Amino acid sequence: MVFFFERSAQKLKNSEVPTAVKQAFAKNFPSAKEVKWSKENATEFEAEFKSGATEKSANFDPKGNWVVTETEMKKSDLPQAVQASVTKEFAGFKMEEIEKVEKPDNVVLYEMELEKNKIVYEVQFTPDGKMIKKEVKKEDRKEKD
């Protein structure tokens, strides 16, 4: 009998990742380097890896279906409409952990943390600058990578 305990990003050995997931990952990201696997949640496997100098993560369901890819990016690489919305809606906030989020059906979003005076929001924008998510992020402890 196998028991799964809900923990955030449970690290996995390569041998613990379903073959279908590893095959789908290899097909979608043939140039991936330094791959680290984890269990994102009860239904998703996550690969964190480098593609060139860029850090990425990709999630797959147990059957190998692609769920999402997140790519680290610089503020200067954000679409102008997203930068304008952040400047307008979050004046004085510091932008951190900027990512391009890609999902099936050609969905592209831009996600980031915005911080000011110990207030931290996790926000998502569409490429045209429309905010579709704004959550207060709990100030636990700073994560060290």
Looking at 46, 68, 90, the residue that finishes a domain is: 68
CATH of the domain at 58: 3.10.450
Answer whether residue 142 is part of any domain. Answer: no
Looking at 42, 68, 94, the residue that finishes a domain is: 68
Answer whether residue 64 is part of any domain. Answer: yes
Answer whether residue 26 is part of any domain. Answer: yes
Report how many domains make up the chain: 2
DSSP state of 17: S
Answer whether residue 5 is part of any domain. Answer: no
Closest CA to 90 of 107, 78, 103, 105: 78
Site of tokens 């997203």? 82
| Sequential pLDDT tens for the chain (145 residues) | 333 333 456 899 989 999 999 999 999 999 999 999 999 888 999 999 999 999 999 999 999 999 999 999 999 999 999 999 999 999 999 999 999 999 999 999 999 999 999 999 999 999 999 999 999 987 544 444 3
* 41 and 58 assigned to the same domain: yes
CATH of the domain at 117: 3.10.450.360
**What DSSP string runs through 49-73?**
EEETTEEEEEEE-TT--EEEEEEE-
- Tokens, residue 2: 């196998």
Range(s) of the domain holding residue 41: 10-68
- Tokens, residue 20: 């279908």
Closest CA to 43 of 13, 11, 65, 15: 65
Looking at 30, 49, 68, the residue that finishes a domain is: 68
* 27 and 58 assigned to the same domain: yes
